[in-house]
């Protein structure tokens, strides 16, 4: 994963010359590879945060973590200790204490339950007044497949959580489910993972380029979905819904991207079959140009049974594309009133939602897309999310204050709607 450092820092509205830089020590739980919050929040926070006001250091509870080198290349020190369930060293606790005493953090930021427990134990070795916050990186407090070790970590975390200065949840759904598990709400806030609004934006050029590259007709109504081929993303339901759409709409085309979404995948090809659906589906595999992919679509769909792909919908909305998605946990928050929700596991509900978008008058569809983009800018902008985290570190209330680099911009042009030929 490439995440180059950018000098365009997201500054805090404080006079950095008169403020001693706050030292933030990040503790990252071992089981975070591929985690949505880590990929879309921690990395941008470190890469693009205000380094005049904040000094960061990172400790990974696993060796060989793919993010470690990326963070090091940006100039931020990274320590890797063996405290994961796969590998554990008796020397690691001593190493952690040495790191805390050497760095003398003003804030210890835990990412995940294991890091939460460790952060509270390490707090006693830090200086007086050291703050402690935790980012919950999962929607559920405990996975349905959790074992004895996970249940022990949750039990300890519940006991220590009231002592935290702040618990940060990635969504209201996550906060609600953690509250039901026993976590306090008094010291909590919600900061959504962010999307780079400079990269994901409406582009007529990208729309034309990708459509021409894929050989799509100008009057094609393109239905897109980006998700790896895994059971939790429910490609079975998507293909059943797509089959209904294809039979009723001769101009409908399907674009599918994601890991494993390719012709060599025998189970996937069995779902495609050999009928009309096979002639209308393009399997793109791991397509790197997501802004271009979304711009080429007329509607973006998620049939997921979890909310792990919710930020994909936010990306599509920032590109000015209407979305139809299952209203599962935080995914329902992203779609909200600015897209169309479908029942999870129901091909009829999903097909009905897509059909609603197809049958909308062009001006209504453009109105939906613009409102969706405005909502995504307000709630899922990377700039705003990074800025809010920085306010948490500095202990500054952010209610009612807009980030200095996130002022309202002119409404972007939304890609035109291609009406199918009569």
25 and 159 housed in the same domain: yes
For residue 58, the model assigns a pLDDT of 95
In a domain, 333, yes or no: yes
User: What are the structure tokens assigned to 118, written together?
Assistant: 């460790």
Q: Are 232 and 314 in contact (CB under 8 A)?
A: no
298 and 166 housed in the same domain: no
146 and 279 housed in the same domain: no
Q: Which of 102-106, 242-246, 414-418 has the lowest mean pLDDT?
A: 414-418
221 and 173 housed in the same domain: no
In a domain, 113, yes or no: yes
215 and 184 housed in the same domain: no
In a domain, 404, yes or no: no
Whether the predicted pLDDT of 418 surpasses 70: no
Q: Are 111 and 32 in contact (CB under 8 A)?
A: yes
58/197 Cα distance (integer angstroms): 26
Whether the predicted pLDDT of 415 surpasses 70: no
Question: Please, what's the b/e burial string for 372-396 (b: 16 or more CB within 10 A of its CB; e: otherwise)?
Answer: bbbbbbebbbbbbbbbbbbbbbbee
174 and 111 housed in the same domain: yes
For 261, the domain range is 204-379
141 and 220 housed in the same domain: no
> Where among 161, 194, 227 does a domain terminate?
194
Whether the predicted pLDDT of 127 surpasses 60: yes
User: What are the structure tokens assigned to 147, written together?
Assistant: 């074992």
Kindly report the CATH number assigned to the domain that includes residue 184: 3.40.50.2000
Q: What's the number of CA atoms in the CB half-sphere (13 Å) around residue 366? A: 12
pLDDT confidence tier of residue 289, bands split at 50, 70 and 90: very high
Q: What's the total number of domains in the chain?
A: 2
213 and 298 housed in the same domain: yes
For residue 345, the model assigns a pLDDT of 96
User: What are the structure tokens assigned to 181, written together?
Assistant: 């598990």
210 and 175 housed in the same domain: no
In a domain, 159, yes or no: yes
326 and 261 housed in the same domain: yes
295/360 Cα distance (integer angstroms): 19
In a domain, 98, yes or no: yes
Question: Please, what's the b/e burial string for 319-329 (b: 16 or more CB within 10 A of its CB; e: otherwise)?
Answer: bbbbbbbbbbb
Q: Which pairs from 67-75 meet CB under 8 Å and 24+ separation?
A: 67/1, 67/28, 67/38, 67/42, 67/43, 70/1, 70/2, 70/3, 70/43, 71/43, 71/46, 73/5, 74/5, 74/46, 74/47, 75/5
For residue 399, the model assigns a pLDDT of 55
Name the strand (E) or helix (H) holding 68: helix 66-73
In a domain, 407, yes or no: no
- Tell me how crowded residue 55 is: count the other CB atoms within 10 A of its CB: 17
Terminus-to-terminus CA distance in the chain, angstroms? 45
The larger pLDDT score, comparing residue 408 to residue 279, is at 279
133 and 230 housed in the same domain: no
176/181 Cα distance (integer angstroms): 9
Whether the predicted pLDDT of 102 surpasses 90: yes
110/108 Cα distance (integer angstroms): 6
- Tell me how crowded residue 77 is: count the other CB atoms within 10 A of its CB: 13
In a domain, 40, yes or no: yes
Highest mean pLDDT among 14-28, 161-175, 385-399: 161-175
CB within 8 Å of 124: residues ≥ 6 apart: none
CB within 8 Å of 293: residues ≥ 6 apart: 210, 224, 226, 255, 257, 284, 287
In a domain, 406, yes or no: no
For residue 409, the model assigns a pLDDT of 38
148 and 245 housed in the same domain: no
> Where among 194, 221, 244 does a domain terminate?
194
What pLDDT, in 10s, does the model give residues 306-329?
999 999 999 999 999 999 999 999
pLDDT confidence tier of residue 398, bands split at 50, 70 and 90: low
Q: What angle do CA 375, 377, 382 make, to 5 degrees?
A: 135
> Where among 145, 176, 194 does a domain terminate?
194
Q: What is the 3-state secondary structure (H, E, C) of 178-199?
A: HHHHCCCCCCEEECCCCECCCC
162/27 Cα distance (integer angstroms): 19
């Amino acid at each position: 994963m490439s995440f180059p450092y950018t000098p365009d820092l997201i500054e805090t509205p404080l006079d950095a010359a008169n403020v001693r830089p706050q030292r933030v020590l990040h503790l990252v739980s071992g089981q975070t590879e591929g985690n949505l919050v880590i990929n879309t929040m921690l990395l941008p926070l470190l890469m693009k945060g205000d380094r005049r006001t904040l000094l960061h250091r990172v400790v990974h509870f696993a060796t060989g973590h793919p993010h470690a080198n990326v963070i090091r290349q940006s100039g931020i020190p990274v320590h890797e200790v063996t405290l994961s369930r796969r590998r554990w060293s008796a020397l690691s606790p001593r190493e952690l204490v040495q790191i805390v005493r050497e760095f003398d953090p003003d804030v210890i930021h835990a990412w995940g339950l294991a890091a939460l427990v460790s952060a509270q134990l390490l707090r006693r070795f830090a200086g007086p007044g050291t703050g402690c916050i935790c980012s919950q990186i999962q929607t559920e407090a405990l996975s349905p497949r959790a074992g004895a070790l996970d249940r022990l970590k949750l039990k300890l975390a519940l006991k220590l959580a009231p002592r935290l200065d702040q618990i940060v949840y990635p969504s209201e759904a996550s906060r609600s489910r953690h509250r039901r598990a026993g976590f306090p709400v008094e010291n909590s806030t919600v900061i959504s993972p962010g999307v780079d609004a400079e990269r994901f934006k409406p582009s007529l050029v990208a729309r034309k380029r990708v459509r021409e590259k894929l050989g799509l007709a100008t009057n094609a109504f393109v239905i897109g979905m980006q998700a790896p081929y895994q059971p939790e993303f429910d490609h079975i339901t998507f293909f059943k819904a797509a089959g209904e759409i294809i039979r009723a709409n001769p101009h409908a085309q399907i674009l599918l991207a994601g890991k494993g979404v390719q012709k060599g995948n025998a189970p996937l090809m069995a779902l495609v079959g050999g009928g009309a659906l096979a002639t209308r589906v393009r399997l793109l595999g791991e397509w790197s140009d997501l802004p271009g992919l979304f711009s080429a679509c007329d509607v973006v769909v998620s049939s997921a049974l979890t909310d792990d792909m919710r930020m994909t919908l936010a990306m599509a909305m920032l590109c000015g594309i209407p979305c139809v998605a299952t209203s599962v946990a935080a995914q329902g928050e992203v779609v909200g009133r600015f897209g169309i929700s479908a029942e999870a596991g129901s091909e009829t509900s999903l097909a009905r939602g897509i059909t609603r978008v197809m049958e909308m008058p062009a001006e209504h569809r453009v109105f939906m897309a613009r409102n969706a983009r405005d909502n995504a800018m307000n709630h899922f902008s990377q700039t705003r999310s990074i800025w809010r985290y920085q306010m948490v570190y500095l202990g500054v209330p952010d209610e009612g204050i807009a980030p200095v680099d996130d002022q309202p911009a002119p409404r972007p042009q939304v890609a035109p709607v291609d009406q199918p030929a009569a």
